[in-house]
Structure 1
Amino acid sequence: MKTFEDKSRESYNEKADDYDKTFDGKFTVKFKELLLEEITVETNSNILDVACGNATFLKMLSNKYDIQGYGIDISEKMIENAKKRCPDMTFEISSCEHTPFDNEMFDMVTVCAAYHHFQDTKAFAKELSRILKPKGLLYIADIYYPFIIRAILNPFVPLSKAGDVKFYSPKEIQSNFGEYGFESMKFKREGHIQIIGFRRL
């Protein structure tokens, strides 16, 4: 049986070369734009974008700030495209739960329209507590649906061919990271998009 990661990898490998023109590529543009509005980056910060895809968001960030950019994704074809788009950045094929980076390496980690794909969100939170610097920042931009819509959709979400796992409430996301030494510092919702900011204690 295919895991969620297997399905995500296959789905995004198929879309990688033309991702910006696909439904997913167009759908996630607003997530990236809103996330860019919400964050402030200090010069030369080490920033990791998790599930970076073809590095669209990192490119947007680097157009606005001087950063040291890093990205991981489970899709090797997405990583190929990311390296072409941002050749001066570092990209690795990696899951979100076990990354190849040193302890306390990053000033900021971002996740844009991907958290609902993560198979083990607790393992992800634990890994972030390892690779983020003390007082390091985490920003998650993900799909928001009201309770009744989540209740209807979530039993069927795992059947998705794209590897979707679950749509989360803001409270579920906040409590998950609270267990691993993060404090919630920002919440914003605009339509179907929620942005939650955390600081590692």
Structure 2
Amino acid sequence: MAQKTHDYERESEDFYDHIASRFDHSFDGFLASFFKRFIIKRLKVEKNSSILDVGCANGNLLAMLNRKEKIFGSGLDISSEMIKIAQVKHPNFTFKQGTAQKIPFEDANFDLIICSASFHHFPLPELFLAEAKRLLAPEGKLVIAEIHIPFITKAYNWRLNKFSTEGDVKVYQPKELTRIFNHNGWKITDKKFFLQIQYYELEKNY
């Protein structure tokens, strides 16, 4: 069966613009909250770290991290409506609208980059991984928390391609993600599987 043609970034932008004002009370926001809480529990954050949240939505993850430890937070999201809300809710952080494949921040600017339940929206994940390398300080860390749906991944991805209008590209199996990370110059320093979450901490593999 032929693949359906998608403009994934446009679909993501349109969908999240549409639900931005009610994101915390939407199904997507409900699911995203599980990822955020897992990251808060799992991730060690140094005081005064410079952190970029890619796919930040309304900025709540940065606020949760800041309650755990004082940080300098920045966020990127493809939805301009999400960014408007994030800027109002969290004026102490910096937010920009844009694509994860060409991120509008300066080189070597972050100690930590987080991508929570967003990697599966990226049409060209290798471009995001290259951008993360550019943006991280030499000893910086990349954290990716993604959907984990064992056993039915292939069927789920068929359904996404056929019916999704939310910009979902595909759900990855752990072996796929490991291969992508390794191929693009990253080494896994920590990983954890919990229910429908697969979590990775990565460092640049020089």
The alignment's TM-score, normalised by the length of structure 2, stands at 0.93
- For residues 27-66 of structure 1, what are the structure 2 equivalents within 5 Å? 27-66=31-70
SS in 2 for 1:46: strand
**Amino acid corresponding to residue 157 of structure 2 in structure 1:** N
Deviation string 1:110-151 (CA, Å, 9 cap, x unpaired) is 0111111111101111111111112211111111011x3011
Percent of aligned pairs sharing the same letter = 35
Describe the shift of the 1:176–1:154 C-alpha distance in structure 2 as closer, same or farther (beyond 3 A). Answer: same
1:175, CA displacement in angstroms?
Answer: 2.1
* 2:192 aligned partner: 188
**Alignment of 1:79 onto 2:63:** no
Query: Aligned equivalents of 1:114 and 1:38: distance in 2?
Result: 18
Offset at residue 177 of structure 1 (A): 2.2
Inter-partner Cα distance in structure 2 for 1:123 and 1:112? 17
Output the CA distance in 2 between the equivalents of 1:196 and 1:184. 7
Instruction: State the 4+ residue runs in structure 1 displaced beyond 4 angstroms.
Output: none
Contact 1:49 1:58 in 2 (8 A): yes
1:134 is the counterpart of 2:142: no
Structure 2 CA distance, aligned partners of 1:158 and 1:138?
A: 28
Aligned residues between the structures: 200
TM superposition shift of 1:180: 2.9
Could you tell me which of 21, 24, 36 is aligned with 2:25?
21
CA distance in 2, matches of 1:200, 1:35: 20
Q: Distance in 1 between matches of 2:36 and 2:180?
A: 23
Q: Normalized against structure 1, the TM-score is what?
A: 0.95
